[in-house]
Chain A
Amino acid sequence: MKTYIENFKKYRFLLMELVKKGVKLKYRRSYLGILWTLLEPLLTMIVLSIVFGTLFGNTDPTFPVYILTGRLMYTFFNNATKGAMKAIRANAGMIKKVYVPKYIYPLSSVLFNYIIFAISLIVLVVVALVLKVYPTIYLLQAVIPLILILVTAFGVGMILSTMAVFFRDLEYLWSVGLMIIMYASAIFYKPERLFASGYGWILKLNPLYLIIHNFRQAVFGHPMNMKFLAASIVFAIVSVIVGLVFFYKKQDEFILHI
């Protein structure tokens, strides 16, 4: 255990460099740069609010905040898991030549996406204030779902990044998986009718929905749903343990497949 920690310390600078590289290159590639990270969720929020607000006859003026909370979290989960999944292959050049603890690559990918996510939360703050969703004491609870989504994305990302080395078609499968997760996360609709119809279990089986729900509770000033909280904590811990063990067992074989 001690050697693990020492090893981590030794490669902390590399982790930082890789996270920095992710952020830098993302913004270097586009003209609008960092502005795009703010503009993109704002524009989709407007479109989704108009379309689904009208479709479902939603007159709640804070509906855009509801959409935005779900969408930002989902976008992070989507980008982080996809990035982690591709991390080993993307860094094949380095992995084939120099020894580096390999978990650094998926980890840096998740962390860099988390930083982008943190920046995009600025949009949420502004929109919430404009639509008069003011912070309450419950907002402090937001820290918990924000940590849970990071841990879950890392755990799921480690599992995917291990599998993707061996199976190239995983990328397509996971895109489908992510789409199903998106529809089952109640991002642009309110789940009440689904619960009333008896199909609510679909949402409750989705850890991402459970996290998003508790994040919304914090933003809108309500206490968290403790059952949801417990389930999402369990899922986060299990996914990290499975991810780490799986990755650790298979990592020596990576080089033979990339």
Chain B
Amino acid sequence: MAKKEVLRVENVGMKFNLSQEKVDDLKDYVIKLLKRQLSYNEFWALKDINFSLNKGDRLGILGLNGAGKSTLLKVIAGVLKATEGTVTSKGKIAPLLELGAGFDQQYTGRENIYLYGAVLGFSKKFLDEKLDEIIAFSELGKFIDVPVKNYSSGMKSRLGFSVATLVEPDILILDEVLSVGDAKFRKKSEAKIMSMFDKGVTVLFVSHSLEQVQRLCNKAILLEKGHIIANGSIDEVSKIYLEKTK
């Protein structure tokens, strides 16, 4: 079976400007401009990132805090625009970054399903069909018609997880999210992710639990200060990672 490439990351670099003092109002800006005090402190959070994934690949991204894992995922999701290089992807990308943080607090769970679904680029018809399934999976019961501001953070994560996974994306981005909710929901969500693997979804996975990454992924890259220092099968890369962190 010929493998279909679904994601290609080429020469990606991401530069941030760390202004020493954050200038975010017009008055300060004009004063600083006149005094010529606008200084910029540039810094590459990612540099020369190259890799590609085929359909069904499950890539673990390893690295210490601040290595650039979240930044890389955001560039792939299209939320951040890379300073240089290109990302080409095929199919629908569903990012699960801090689940449910994008919900509207005044809106009920049900209304948020449509809103979040629309943000992910799905049609009304599709969401209509999926609605019952999403509600059932979230286990919110009658809370589905209560404004989200009355939810616990666990309930919000459950709803976010249910929308983002039940809509069957082609590429799923998981940034430290499989540790939300209670033990029972965690198990259920891991099972859900596993069943998506069977359907051939492509996954980018970040977790602070190496054991979880080893269990879920078949490939890995290791990031250090924004550079890829190892790229290969999960076993090879986690060996290098363990040596590094020893």
A255 touches B29 (CB 8 A): no
**Residue of B79, B101, B123 with most partner-chain A CB within 10 A:** B79
Query: Knowing A21-B107, A97-B95, A97-B98 touch, does A255 contact B119 (C-beta < 8 A)?
Result: no
A255 touches B80 (CB 8 A): yes
On chain B, the residues within 8 Å of A252 by CB distance are: 81
For chain A, the bracket of interface size reads: 20 to 34
**Cβ of A193 under 8 Å from chain B:** no
On chain B, the residues within 8 Å of A257 by CB distance are: 24
**Cβ of B106 under 8 Å from chain A:** yes
Complex CA–CA separation, A16 to B127 (angstroms) = 14
CB distance from A8 to the nearest CB of B (A): 12
Complex CA–CA separation, A22 to B93 (angstroms) = 27
**Cβ of A173 under 8 Å from chain B:** yes
Set A10, A168, A169, A255: member contacting B121, Cβ < 8 A: A10
B107 touches A25 (CB 8 A): yes
Set A18, A95, A167: member contacting B25, Cβ < 8 A: A167
Complex CA–CA separation, A12 to B27 (angstroms) = 38
On chain A, the residues within 8 Å of B16 by CB distance are: 256
Complex CA–CA separation, A17 to B121 (angstroms) = 12
Interface members, chain A 8-49 (any B CB < 8 Å): 10-11, 13-14, 16-18, 21, 24-25, 28-29
Query: Knowing A17-B114, A167-B24 touch, does A98 contact B81 (C-beta < 8 A)?
Result: no
**For residue A95, which residue of chain B has the nearest CB?**
B79
CB distance from A11 to the nearest CB of B (A): 7
A169 touches B26 (CB 8 A): yes
Complex CA–CA separation, A46 to B164 (angstroms) = 51
**Cβ of B37 under 8 Å from chain A:** no
Interface members, chain A 123-174 (any B CB < 8 Å): 166-170, 173
Complex CA–CA separation, A49 to B43 (angstroms) = 61
Complex CA–CA separation, A13 to B98 (angstroms) = 24
Tell me how many residues of B have a C-beta within 8 Å of chain A: 32
Query: Knowing A252-B81, A255-B79, A255-B80 touch, does A100 contact B24 (C-beta < 8 A)?
Result: no
Set B17, B24, B27, B118: member contacting A17, Cβ < 8 A: B118
**Cβ of A119 under 8 Å from chain B:** no
B77 touches A98 (CB 8 A): yes
Complex CA–CA separation, A59 to B124 (angstroms) = 54
**Cβ of A94 under 8 Å from chain B:** yes
Per-position contact with A for B5-46: 1 when CB-CB < 8 Å, else 0? 000000000001100000011110100000000000000000
Set A18, A97, A167: member contacting B26, Cβ < 8 A: A167
**Cβ of B167 under 8 Å from chain A:** no
Set B24, B27, B79, B122: member contacting A99, Cβ < 8 A: B79
**Cβ of B66 under 8 Å from chain A:** no
24 inter-chain pairs at a CB distance below 8 angstroms, sorted by A residue, are A10-B121, A11-B121, A13-B118, A13-B122, A13-B124, A14-B118, A14-B119, A16-B118, A17-B118, A93-B101, A93-B103, A97-B77, A97-B95, A98-B77, A98-B95, A98-B119, A99-B78, A99-B93, A100-B119, A169-B26, A170-B25, A170-B26, A173-B26, A252-B81
A18-B115, A252-B81, A255-B80 known; 11 new pairs, CB 8 Å cut-off, are A21-B104, A95-B79, A96-B101, A97-B77, A97-B95, A97-B97, A99-B77, A166-B24, A167-B25, A167-B29, A257-B24
